């Protein structure tokens, strides 16, 4: 018997232009590609300015060719690297002094360089006034993060290894430094990590509290009625009964993506700190201390050179744990809703070998760790050595950590869509359930949002047209009348070839829940969230290849998972090949 944790991770040998062993190189994920930049060669003690691209889907490395005509940055290590609008942003780090051949003749840098990932060219260096008080001191081993089109540079050390307790902000649109602020904490890559997310998770139950948005739509059951004095539609779903799950959205000025700064130090008696940087629309930012809010039955040990990420509503941190009796690469997750820590157990995948550098593959809900499964963790740590020969992929969704699906329609539109179904708006078609009950709906809406249904209707029309062509011509046949109308996107259907109903071999509640999804493009009614209905919707999403519906159902099932529902969820997730949900 294998432990369940061994199902959540696997290790593979990387191929292609595998980078050499490096010290102080940076890794940055863009989509399904990871970019490695810079570092110092272990074999020669030489710094490089090379770029490697790793395909997270094929596990293959490619060395990126750089044009000799570009203004290639000075080779460096212990710099920072971020991503912004398909650009790599490199800042600072330690380098060998220009014109020096002595590898010990070092300097530190404070330049900002951008590499265009689309054209694969370096942008010219930005000239900044060196006497400006807003330009940061040269530094290395600092923290950085990008949010709201701004690059935050936090802490680090100077050439004399003196801590630099400050925060600088670089405006990426204007390519200028715009702010400096003191920051009364020592922060550096040895003990701290600063991360942000590309997408913000919104909590509609909190945002719509008070029901003001729903009140503007009018009372349920009467939202499309011309005669407002008429009785509302019976059995209409009331707004306060609707269920709106958390969803992912692009950041806005009102809901920006925060920067989470985690530090741990004093490794014999570990101290942990968590502060949140929130950007403001005027270019400023606020800092809130969440350290005392962190709870849990267990906490992360002291993690050296931690890396981190934000996925969904979780902060993930990973790093090297060293004690006199035990050494490991340890991964932990903090639930940002209830502020509870939990350990991510990847099973035997990381139990041996040398593992140090990790990153998040957000679009696949996977955490990726690079190293050498035949290496020695302690020896490589003492040399600060990074290996790229093997990669371990950890399925975070199996731990309930994932990016919630985005909205297709905003919340008021979801409620109006549901009202259109319940009030029979534009209903020219019927779905016949297996018990004979009928549900009125719009044929055009089903065709637009259910590709299988549209295809089946096209097959029916072709067959019916062929059948009509075989009939003998009868003088009593009446041609279609000419109806004056505006230009139409499609030909007016022949009523003789237009079906009025469709038999779906599903019970009435399942059919109704499916139609509620097509009208709202969401799962918002209590019926849709009933465990038995969710299971059947997952099967339907797999049968009819409705990927968006499947993502919503999995999202709802993750949140509804309990001892009472686990058996049913396991069974249906197995049938539908939803491996992450099945493992959890």
- Is residue 366 within 8 Å of residue 394, measured between CB atoms? yes
Where in 323-376 does DSSP place strands (E)?
Answer: 327-335, 340-343, 354-361, 366-372
Q: How far apart are CA 534 and CA 315, in angstroms?
A: 28
* DSSP reduced 3-state for 543: helix
Q: For residue 205, name the pLDDT band (cuts at 50, 70, 90).
A: confident
DSSP 297: S
Question: What are the respective helix, strand and coil percentages of the chain, to the nearest 5?
Answer: 25, 30, 45
pLDDT at residue 1, as a whole number: 43
Here the tokens at position 361 are: 């593959």
Q: Distance between CA atoms of 11 and 391, rounded to whole angstroms?
A: 6
pLDDT tens column, 257-299: 999 999 999 888 899 999 999 999 888 999 999 999 999 999 9
Q: Residues 286, 291, 294, CA angle at the centre, nearest 5°?
A: 125
**Mean per-residue pLDDT of the chain:** 88
Closest C-alpha to 314, from 367, 381, 383, 235 = 367
Evaluate whether 74 touches 91 at the Cβ level (below 8 Å).
Answer: no
| Alpha helix (H) residue ranges in 184-228 | 204-207, 212-216
Taking a C-beta distance cutoff of 8 angstroms, is the pair 317, 299 a contact? no
Are 127 and 135 spatial neighbours (Cβ–Cβ below 8 Å)? no
Q: According to the model, what pLDDT value does residue 496 have? A: 61
Cα–Cα distances (Å) from 409 to 43, 109, 418, 519, 553, in that order, read 55, 47, 12, 10, 16
Contacts of 326 (CB under 8 A, 6+ apart): none
Q: What's the length of the chain?
A: 584
Average pLDDT over residues 71-83: 96
The SS3 of residue 349 is helix
Q: Which helix (H) or strand (E) holds 260?
A: strand 259-265
pLDDT at residue 204, rounded to an integer: 86
How large a percentage of the chain has pLDDT more than 70? Answer: 89
14-66: pLDDT as tens digits: 999 999 999 999 999 999 999 999 999 988 889 999 999 999 999 999 999 99
Q: For the beta carbon of residue 32, count every other beta carbon within 10 angstroms.
A: 14
Given strand 429-432, what is the order of strands in its sheet?
438-441, 429-432, 501-503
pLDDT of amino acid 56: 97
Across 72-199, the runs of DSSP E, i.e. the strands, are 80-84, 87-96, 106-116, 121-122, 143-147, 150-154, 166-171, 176-182, 192-195
Buried b (16+ CB within 10 A) or exposed e, 41-72: bbeeeebbbbbbbbebeebebeeeebeeeeee
pTM for this model (two decimals): 0.88
**Strand extents, DSSP E, 282-363:** 285-289, 304-311, 314-322, 327-335, 340-343, 354-361
Query: How far apart are alpha carbons 29 and 150 in whole angstroms?
Result: 18
């Amino acid at each position: 018997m294998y432990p369940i944790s061994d199902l959540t991770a696997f290790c593979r040998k990387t191929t292609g232009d595998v980078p050499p062993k490096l010290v102080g190189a940076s890794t940055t994920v863009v989509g399904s590609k990871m970019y490695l930049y810079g570092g110092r060669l272990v074999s020669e003690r030489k710094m490089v300015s090379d770029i490697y691209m790793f395909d997270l889907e094929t596990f293959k490395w490619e060395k990126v060719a750089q044009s000799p005509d570009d203004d290639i940055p000075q080779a460096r290590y212990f710099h920072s690297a971020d991503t912004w609008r398909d650009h790599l942003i490199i800042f600072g780090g330690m380098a060998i002094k220009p014109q020096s051949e002595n590898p010990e003749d070092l300097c530190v840098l404070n330049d900002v360089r951008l590499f265009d990932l689309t054209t694969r060219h370096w942008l010219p260096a930005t000239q900044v006034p060196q006497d400006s008080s807003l330009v940061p001191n040269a530094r290395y081993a600092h923290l950085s993060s990008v949010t709201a089109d701004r690059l935050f540079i936090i802490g680090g050390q100077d050439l004399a290894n003196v801590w630099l307790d400050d925060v600088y902000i670089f405006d990426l649109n204007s390519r200028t430094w715009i702010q400096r602020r003191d920051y009364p904490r020592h922060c550096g890559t040895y003990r701290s990590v600063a991360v942000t997310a590309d997408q913000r998770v919104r909590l509609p139950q909190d945002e719509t509290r008070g029901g003001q948005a729903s009140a503007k739509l009018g009372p349920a059951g009467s939202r499309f009625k011309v005669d407002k004095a008429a009785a509302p539609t019976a059995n209409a779903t009331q707004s306060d009964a609707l269920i709106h799950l958390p969803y992912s959205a692009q950041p806005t000025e009102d809901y920006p993506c925060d920067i989470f700064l985690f530090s741990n130090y004093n490794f014999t008696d570990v101290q942990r700190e968590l502060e949140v940087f929130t950007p403001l629309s005027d270019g400023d930012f606020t800092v809130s201390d969440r350290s005392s809010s962190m709870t849990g039955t267990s906490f992360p040990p002291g993690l050296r050179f931690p890396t981190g990420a934000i996925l969904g509503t979780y902060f993930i941190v990973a790093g090297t744990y060293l004690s006199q009796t035990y050494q490991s690469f340890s991964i932990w997750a903090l639930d940002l809703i209830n502020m509870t820590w939990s350990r991510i157990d990847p099973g035997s995948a990381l139990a041996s070998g040398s593992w140090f550098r990790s990153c998040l593959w957000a679009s696949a809900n996977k955490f990726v760790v690079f190293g050498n499964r035949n290496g020695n963790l302690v020896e490589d740590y003492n040399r600060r050595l990074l290996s790229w020969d093997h990669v371990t992929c950890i399925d975070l969704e199996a731990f309930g950590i994932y990016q919630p699906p985005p909205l297709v329609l905003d919340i008021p539109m979801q409620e109006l869509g549901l009202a259109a179904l319940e009030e029979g708006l534009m209903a020219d078609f019927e779905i016949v359930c297996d018990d004979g009950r009928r549900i009125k709906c719009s044929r055009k809406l089903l065709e637009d949002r259910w590709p299988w249904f549209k295809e089946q209707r096209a097959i029916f029309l072709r067959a019916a047209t062929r059948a009509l062509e075989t009939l003998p011509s009868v003088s009593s046949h009446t041609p279609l009348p000419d109806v004056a109308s505006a230009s139409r996107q499609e030909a007016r259907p022949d009523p003789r070839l237009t079906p009025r109903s469709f038999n779906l071999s599903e019970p009435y509640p399942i059919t109704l829940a499916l139609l509620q999804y097509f009208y709202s493009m969401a799962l918002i009614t209590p019926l849709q969230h009933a465990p038995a209905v969710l299971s059947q919707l997952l099967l339907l999403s797999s049968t009819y290849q409705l990927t968006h519906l499947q993502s919503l159902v999995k999202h709802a099932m993750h949140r509804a998972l309990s001892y009472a529902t686990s058996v049913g969820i396991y069974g249906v997730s197995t049938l539908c090949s939803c491996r992450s949900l099945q493992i959890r």
